[in-house]
Amino acid sequence: MKIYLAGPDVFLPDALTIGQRKVAICARYGLIGLYPLDTPVDRNAESASLAIFKNNQEMMDSSDAIIANLTPFRGAGADPGTVYELGYMAGRQKLCLGYSNDPRLYAERVRDFTQVTSHEDRLVDRDGLTVEDFALADNLMTIHGLDLHGRPLIVPKQAPSDLWHDFSAFEVCVRVAAERLKQP
Amino acid sequence: MKIYLAGPDVFLPDALTIGQRKVAICARYGLIGLYPLDTPVDRNAESASLAIFKNNQEMMDSSDAIIANLTPFRGAGADPGTVYELGYMAGRQKLCLGYSNDPRLYAERVRDFTQVTSHEDRLVDRDGLTVEDFALADNLMTIHGLDLHGRPLIVPKQAPSDLWHDFSAFEVCVRVAAERLKQP
């Protein structure tokens, strides 16, 4: 059983080590983790980004499930590249799992980036755009995508001291994947 | 032929009017536009967000194509909820089209939100996270998802004065959808 390991982990300085740790945790549960950086790509080639895309899509197509790291990335919500992959796997009818190491709600987090006020029964940002306020951890497509194509977002009760190197919530996803995928 | 009209347009104060305009443009090309707000949902119900999700997914499942508004939304890139939908439609093998009314590149836009420096051949933000720098308009999954599942992102040469109410790039997508979907 193969699991596609999605997330902004690839943007961290120690991205390769993180991938190795995640793959090792998968192996302990009898699963094969596929990590985007496992396949070498010449990042200076003109078509480097396209090669990365194709490689990621092939890995997703060959996987039985996705575990998406949805910890907020450079903004109030999850990394959009990871969210694309979650949507893609939902569309492909694969098992969709995800975690976030930030237990706050989306509407709370938006306040870190813009002024939010109440206006006629809704929250709006500085530009007058509605702030989704359904007491969810992220936008409703991402959150309910998990609910209906896998299981609800895994979130720790308290944020770990190191958001990017704590793999407890990730491991819960791996355990769920192992249970679900090995069902007869 | 039905087109799912995705985008953060739904978060604007005049979201309903925008939807009507987009549906009218589709109709001029012989296409039926499906807009998330077309189906009424009791936004105060406990399960309002789930009802919205299910409605959006049903509309996507019944559509032949998606036209995603990928104009940057409250950050350096596209609205992640919209990006989820783009990924979902790519996974469902539907025609994927998108536009952005901001012609700048992703790496340029990140600088509006965080300090970006060069470090050993890559751009990094204040937290040491890599900033994707492939001279693309957004993250590579979104951009190449369009390239391989539809056609490249439609972008105006210059940003229109009103990012949210200029439908020129949207109309180009509608024209492409009409051409593609009506091929024998």
Q: What would the 3-class secondary structure string for chain A be?
A: CEEEEECHHHHCCCHHHHHHHHHHHHHHCCCEEECHHHCCCCCCCCCHHHHHHHHHHHHHHCCCEEEEECCCCCCCCCCHHHHHHHHHHHHCCCEEEEECCCCCCHHHHHCCCCCCEEECCEEECCCCCEECCCCCCCCHHHHHHHHHHECCCECCCCCCCCCCCCCHHHHHHHHHHHHHHCCC
Q: What is the mean pLDDT of residues B63-75?
A: 97
Distance from CA of B52 to the nearest CA of A (A): 8
The mean per-residue pLDDT over the stretch B167-174 comes to 98
Spatial separation of the C-alpha atoms in residues B146 and B144, rounded to whole Å: 5
Residue of B10, B60, B84, B139 for testing the chain A interface, max A β-carbons within 10 Å: B84
Half-sphere exposure of A81 (CA within 13 A, CB side): 27
> What pLDDT score was predicted for residue A23?
98
Average pLDDT over residues A144-155: 98
Which residues on B lie below 8 Å from A124 (Cβ)?
Answer: 13
**Which CATH class name applies to A2-102+139-181?**
alpha beta
Q: pLDDT band at residue B181, thresholds of 50, 70 and 90?
A: very high
Measured in angstroms, the CA of B117 and the nearest CA of chain A are apart by 14
| Average pLDDT across chain A, whole number | 95
ipTM of the predicted structure? 0.97
pTM of the full structure: 0.97
CATH of domain B2-102+138-181: 3.40.50.450
Domain boundaries, chain A: 2-102+139-181, 104-136
CB contacts under 8 A, B 142-171 vs A, are 142-145, 147-148
